[in-house]
Amino acid sequence: MMTVRRIGIFGGTFNPIHNGHLLIAEAAREEYGLERVIFVPASHPPHKQRSDVAPNSWRYDMVRLAVADNPFFFVSDVELLRSGPSYTVDTLRYFHEVYQGQAEFYFIMGTDTLLDLPTWKYADELIALTHFLSALRPRYRTDLSMLTAKFGQQTQEKIHFLHTPEMEISATDLRQRFATGRSTRYLLPVAVQEYILANHIYR
């Protein structure tokens, strides 16, 4: 019998990528036996203000630097090359094609994103295309009633919670730290930190 390939997809703005992202991706990989985790930086995030988002090429480079030392981690520019807003459903359709129906997908996210899920474009199609792995995030409590109202039975079958420590790291806080010259040590990979400082990204 053929074992199903399990592929992790991690979408985000990654503005910048930080240790919170890396830790939940690694936890997801280990806990769900994922063959690999593909980080997919978003181009035009529909829910975020464009003005404070660093250019695509910088965010792509930062993810590339962050994942370089993990043989299970990859980065895809599929959303950066697509014109118009990035919808996760298009990305999942794309990866289903790439793997020719031979893989199961596990979309990695924090609880803040999970609670937004019912409002996403084509959410019903999306939940048919992927499982969701959610890491708890401080201050976001998990009231699953909205999810159950929208997705019914599929909520239990397709939405899972990771066993990761909750981490108070956010890209918003990191951007503020870089802007004001405060310490960012241990919050993101050294190579990413150096890249941000060398290119004056958040100053």
Rule CB under 6 A: is residue 167 a binding residue for ligand ATP? yes
**Alpha carbons 132 and 110: distance in angstroms, whole number:** 10
* DSSP string for residues in 141-176: ---THHHHHHHTTHHHHHEEE---------HHHHHH
Residue 109 is a binding residue for ligand ATP (CB under 6 A): yes
Q: Which of 159, 171, 192, 196 binds ligand ATP (CB under 6 A)?
A: 171
Q: Between residues 95 and 108, which has the closer beta carbon with respect to ligand ATP? A: 108
133 belongs to the binding site for ligand ATP (CB under 6 A): no
Residues 110-129, interacting with ligand ATP (CB under 6 A) = 110, 112-113
Say how many Å lie between the first and final Cα of the chain, rounded: 55
Q: Should residue 130 be labelled a site residue for ligand ATP when binding is judged by CB under 6 A?
A: no
- Which residue's CB is nearer to ligand ATP, number 20 or number 151? 20
How many CB atoms within 10 Å of residue 95? 19
- Using alpha carbons only, what angle is made at residue 124 by residues 119 and 127, rounded to the nearest 5 degrees? 100
Kindly tell me which of 8 and 20 has the beta carbon lying closer to ligand ATP. 20
* Residue 199 binding ligand ATP, by CB under 6 A: no
Least CB distance to ligand ATP at residue 115 (A): 9
- Tell which phi-psi region holds residue 3, choosing left (phi > 0), alpha (psi between -120 and 50) or beta: beta
- If the CB atoms of residues 13 and 86 are measured against ligand ATP, the closer one turns out to be 13
Question: How far is Cα 136 from Cα 115, in angstroms, rounded to an integer?
Answer: 11
Query: What residues line the site for ligand ATP (CB under 6 A)?
Result: 12-15, 20-21, 24, 109-110, 112-113, 135, 137, 167, 169-172
